[in-house]
Structure 1
Amino acid sequence: MTPADMDARIVRYGDLQPCKTAFIDAHTPGSDQKENFTIIGGGVSESPDQHVHIAIPHGFNIGAAGQPPRVTNSLHDHHTAEVFFVLKGKWRFFWGRYGDAGEVTLEEGDIFNIPTGIFRGFENIGTDYGMIMAVLGGDDAGGGVMWAPQVIENAAAHGLVLGEDGKLYDTKRQQKLPDGVAPMPLMSAEDLAKRPEPTTADVLPNHVARYWDMMALADRKPVTVIGETGLLRDKPGFEVDFITRGSASAAKHSHTYPSVLMPMRGHWKVAWDGGAATLAPGDTMSVPENLAHSVVPSMTGEASLYHVVATGDAAGHTWTE
């Protein structure tokens, strides 16, 4: 792999291209200032305006959400796993039919593995623009987003209609549903009644890992955060590892699936036969399958990095008690 080949697989934080019309709540007051980023894979955007940085299939998708303070991402669900870690700011995550079943506050570096089958939303409760990074299971991320009924109703009141084809139509731009395409139906009362409403106490122990706990645990060797034997035991179709300065190794290794490197703190040097690159927080790098490479901090100071690799398992999991 030449440096030019690998450079095409690096998305720099400063080069991220946001989409402000990605989802059905793009006009809804309180949600109309959020930005969506599709970094690796097709993502789940409902808008043709969404830019995809790297379209290479990985077995999972990487995206991000950026929001000013007090801006909310509306209640939704996916058919596959959804994992977030906070890159910048302070965030409140909430879940349930009306978003009041439970909630948790995440600080920078914290990670949240959210089961399918539960409506979830999130809000930037910090004082500055915040950014959360996301991993979605599967190459097609489950084929779209399921919205809480009130989200669809509120969006229609502000001019956005979601069609059964999964595309948005903006009545403020005189757009209409095409012939033969009906509006996306609201979830039935029967289906809504089947959805669990776990409390905060139910969710926290097995679905949230704190940054400073992981920093301590990964002092000597990398920690599997999400995986069959991870801190958050799960098989969502990918594994998430956490690496620090103390657990990084200059020895080259490879994976049978493409992997992704996402620095949280510090600068990291990635080296392979034929070249090297330096990553900073917010950068995302796709490493090809079977490419031997090493990853080590390149500067002094705090250093931490999330590593994601596909496992070939099923890409979804449903809430269980």
Structure 2
Amino acid sequence: MKQPQWVRFGELIPCRSAFIDAHTPGSSEKENFTIIGGGVSESPDQHVHIKATPGFNIGAAGQPPRCFNSLHSHDTAEVFFVLKGRWRFFWGETGKDGEVVLEEGDIFNIPTRLFRGFENIGSDYGMIMSILGGNDAGGGVIWAPHVREAAQAHGLVLGETGRLYDTKKDEALPDGEFEMPLPEQDWLNALLRPDATTVVKHYVARYWDMMAMAAQGAVKVIGEHGLLIDKPGFEVDFLSRHSPLAETLQAQKDVVLMVMRGHWAVNWQDKTEIFNPGDTVWLPEGTNYSLKVTASGEASLFRVTRTDDPAGLTWAGEEA
């Protein structure tokens, strides 16, 4: 049987050349982290901490104040929660269709067929944690045309294989490989253009609302019967120190625990480890485990569980 694995927040290894906007002013200081799975990095320099395939990918983005991630779209689900700081998420081909501000602990289940970007608007280095649908999330990033143009003006070219080439380092497309084609106009015309009210209603859950509900038990945040109704290939629950839990839990499918606040003892097979904010724990299918908060004060975590649903996402305005 596979054994649990984990990554400590303080041991995360960043990549600053992960994406096509790595040289673009305003984006050049962002850091990308791939925690579980292959992630979606376009750079061979990206470090992967746990090379497991639990049905989804876990990653993170760290950015100093006023640093932004450029507009892009995914073919599979993309979920973020704010670990540190204050973040503005914006969407649309030019980023002006709508925006929402997320505080620490808030979670955003972003629809597919929607260009999205995000900016740290706090006063300190900020961190958002991510969940991407599917075992293989690579090759699924589509950049807004103006992002591609800006990147090329600053020396970065994206090949059709999804790999970046840095002309500032005398890199060039290999013989026989062409540049990644820009999205066709018909595809751009079919993009979703929801307003902020619609997005917040269907795809954002606030931390303190979840904390209030968690006293009654684990809060189903994302899932068929969740606060954010969806079937993206995984479910997300929210737990607090006040959530009543069985003495022994079983990961009937692969489970990942992502600590938001406090110190949590996770026990399995007579082994106990203490996990802290920003730590990520993978519990393979079949693992029997227990959870306990080890200190006073605020304590919360997100629990991600693989499902058998496709790794896509159903927009709330459409028929399932």
Place the TM-score, normalised by the shorter chain, in its bin.
over 0.9
Match of 1:53 among 49, 52, 61: 49
Does residue 172 of structure 2 align to residue 171 of structure 1? no
When normalised by structure 2's length, the TM-score is 0.97
Which residue is equivalent to 1:88? 84
Q: How far apart in 1 are the matches of 2:307 and 2:185?
A: 36
1:250 positional shift: 5.4
Which residue is equivalent to 1:209? 205
1:65 positional shift: 0.1
Match of 1:145 among 137, 141, 146: 141
Which residue is equivalent to 2:69? 73
1:143 positional shift: 3.2
After TM superposition, the structure 1 stretch with the greater mean CA deviation from structure 2, 270-279 or 97-106, is: 270-279
Give yes or no for contact 1:250–1:296 (8 Å, CA) kept in 2. Answer: no
Listed as ranges, the gaps of 5+ residues in structure 2 are none
Which residue is equivalent to 2:240? 244
Q: How far apart in 2 are the matches of 1:248 and 1:83?
A: 26
Give yes or no for contact 2:16–2:29 (8 Å, CA) kept in 1. Answer: yes
Per-residue CA shift, 1:203-232, capped at 9, x if unaligned?
111100000000001112110000000000
Paired residue secondary structure (1:246)? coil
Tell me the percent identity. Answer: 62
When normalised by structure 1's length, the TM-score is 0.96
Match of 1:10 among 1, 6, 9: 6
- The alignment's C-alpha RMSD in Å is 1.3
- Residues 43, 189 of structure 1: alpha-carbon distance in 2 compared, 3 angstrom cutoff: same
After TM superposition, the structure 1 stretch with the greater mean CA deviation from structure 2, 62-71 or 294-303, is: 294-303
Paired residue secondary structure (1:141)? coil
Give yes or no for contact 2:54–2:284 (8 Å, CA) kept in 1. Answer: no
The one-letter code matched in structure 2 to 1:272 is W
Give yes or no for contact 2:215–2:244 (8 Å, CA) kept in 1. Answer: no
Does residue 180 of structure 2 align to residue 198 of structure 1? no
Does residue 10 of structure 2 align to residue 20 of structure 1? no
Q: How far apart in 1 are the matches of 2:37 and 2:136?
A: 7
Give yes or no for contact 2:16–2:32 (8 Å, CA) kept in 1. Answer: yes
Which residue is equivalent to 2:311? 315
After TM superposition, the structure 1 stretch with the greater mean CA deviation from structure 2, 110-119 or 138-147, is: 138-147
- Tell me how many residue pairs correspond in the alignment: 317
Q: How far apart in 1 are the matches of 2:249 and 2:270?
A: 15
The one-letter code matched in structure 2 to 1:208 is V
Listed as ranges, the gaps of 5+ residues in structure 1 are none
Does residue 291 of structure 2 align to residue 291 of structure 1? no
The one-letter code matched in structure 2 to 1:132 is I
- Residues 222, 111 of structure 1: alpha-carbon distance in 2 compared, 3 angstrom cutoff: same
1:256 positional shift: 2.5
- Write out aligned runs for 1:245-284 (5 A): 245-249=241-245, 251-284=247-280
- Residues 217, 61 of structure 1: alpha-carbon distance in 2 compared, 3 angstrom cutoff: same
Match of 1:156 among 140, 152, 161: 152
Per-residue CA shift, 1:159-197, capped at 9, x if unaligned?
000000100000000001011111111112221111121
Q: How far apart in 2 are the matches of 1:225 and 1:205?
A: 13
Paired residue secondary structure (2:247)? strand
Does residue 119 of structure 2 align to residue 130 of structure 1? no
Q: How far apart in 2 are the matches of 1:248 and 1:10?
A: 24
Paired residue secondary structure (1:191)? helix
Give yes or no for contact 2:41–2:138 (8 Å, CA) kept in 1. Answer: no
Give yes or no for contact 1:80–1:142 (8 Å, CA) kept in 2. Answer: no
Q: How far apart in 2 are the matches of 1:304 and 1:194?
A: 39
Give yes or no for contact 1:78–1:142 (8 Å, CA) kept in 2. Answer: no
Paired residue secondary structure (2:208)? helix
